[in-house]
Amino acid sequence: MRSSSLRLALVVAALAATSGACRASSTPTPLVAAVKPVVTTTTTAVPVPTTVSPLDGVPPPTKLAFGALATVPKVTVYDAPGSSTITTVMTNPTIEGVQLAMFADDREGDWVHVRLPMRPNGAAGWIRASDVRLAEMTTRIVVDISDRRLRVLDDTQAIVFDTAVAVGKPSTPTTLGRFFVDIWLPNPGRPYGTFMLSIGGFSDVLKNFAGGRGQLALHGWADQSVMGKNVSNGCVRMRNQDIAQVAKLAPPGTPIEIVA
């Protein structure tokens, strides 16, 4: 068995290549079952809006907001509750060596509807509730590309953190849409600063990046002069002290809206 220090080094190396991040340790809360089923029942991409009003007091566009943390080696995804049609199988741990985290936004009986950290953006499907532990999310992150700011809102829609960030340059723009934190990693190493929060979303331009899958992330950055500018390869760069603060508010499963 590898030592803990060696395992951490391997995880950091893998995440640096995939623009990823690590896992939550918070105690999950049971998901409320008495909800009306949503219409979406497939793993095809959910339409992603090009604009969202992030600060108008409207709750996140989901009936529920829960992190779904895998507890089994493989999570089988189906096209509908109770269906036998398998659309994909997610491995746990992930290719980065961390716990598989998804975002749950609905439940029907023993089935949970989840968004998946895979291409295409917006991929979703139904899984068995027994395959995951569920943790209620009480915050959400909104990244506004037009004013290059990141805000964290609580469950009353009040802004609890607000800061300038750097986003994608015109040739490699930051992808718009509704995503979630899928990996949570302190001290990812250069050049990613003091923290990295991997986003369950992918670049529309870079299908591969540094040997990885072109996955988006929020991460630290030493050069503070880039904040408020469009300069990145698609990730959201933050001051090291800022990403450390956001990490305290955003465990895996936290919803992220990237808007224009």
Q: Is the pLDDT of residue 11 over 90?
A: no
- Is 161 part of a structural domain of the chain? yes
pTM above 0.85, yes or no: no
Which pLDDT belongs to residue 241? Answer: 96
- Domain at 156, CATH number: 2.40.440.10
224 or 59: whose pLDDT is higher?
Answer: 224
Q: Which of 65, 140, 52 is nearest to 102 (CA)?
A: 65
Catalytic residue ranges: 219, 235
Residue 217 lies in a domain: yes
Q: Given a cut of 60, is residue 97 above it in pLDDT?
A: yes
On whether residue 60 sits in a domain, the answer given is: no
Q: Which amino acid is at 109?
A: G
Q: Residues 101-160: pLDDT tens digits?
A: 999 999 999 999 999 999 999 999 999 999 999 999 999 999 999 999 999 999 888 999
Decide if 200 is inside a domain. Answer: yes
- Please check whether residue 236 lies inside any domain of the structure: yes
Asked, for residue 98, whether it belongs to a domain, the answer is no
> Closest by alpha carbon to 139, among 158, 154, 151?
154
What domain range is 184 assigned to? 4-23+138-259
Strand partners, 167: 230
HSE, CB side, 13 Å, CA atoms: give it for residue 172.
18
pLDDT score, position 22: 31
Mind listing the pLDDT tens digit for each residue in 129-141? 999 999 999 999 9
Per the structure, how many domains does the chain have? 1
156-196 residue pLDDT tens: 889 999 999 999 999 999 999 999 999 999 988 888 999 99
Band the pLDDT of 208: cuts 50, 70, 90.
Answer: low
Q: What is the DSSP code (8-state) at residue 209?
A: B
Neighbours of 253 (CB within 10 A): 28
CA 3 from centroid of its chain's CA atoms: 28
Looking at residue 157, what is its pLDDT?
86
CB 141 within 8 A of CB 246: yes
Asked whether the beta carbons of 144 and 164 are under 8 A apart, the reply is no
Report yes or no on 42 lying in a domain. Answer: no
For residue 56, give every residue at least 6 positions away whose Cβ sits within 8 Å of its Cβ, in sequence order, or none: none
pLDDT for the residue 137: 94
Q: Is 56 part of a structural domain of the chain?
A: no
3-state secondary structure of 242: helix
Answer left, alpha or beta for residue 244, where phi above 0 means left and psi between -120 and 50 means alpha. Answer: alpha
Q: What amino acid is encoded at 242 in this protein?
A: D
Average the pLDDT over 84-92 and give the result.
98
The torsion angles phi and psi of 231, rounded to 5 degrees, stand at -135, -10
Mean pLDDT, all residues of the chain: 80
Are 218 and 197 in contact by the 8 Å Cβ rule? The answer is: yes
Cis-peptide, bond into residue 93, ω within 30° of zero: yes
Report the relative pairing of strands 139-144 and 255-259 from DSSP bridges: parallel
- Dump pLDDT digits (tens) for 37-72: 222 223 333 333 333 334 444 344 455 789 999 999
Residue 211's pLDDT band, with cuts at 50, 70 and 90, is low
* Strand-by-strand arrangement of the 195-202 sheet: 159-164, 149-154, 139-144, 255-259, 177-186, 195-202, 215-221, 236-239
DSSP letter for 56, please.
Answer: S
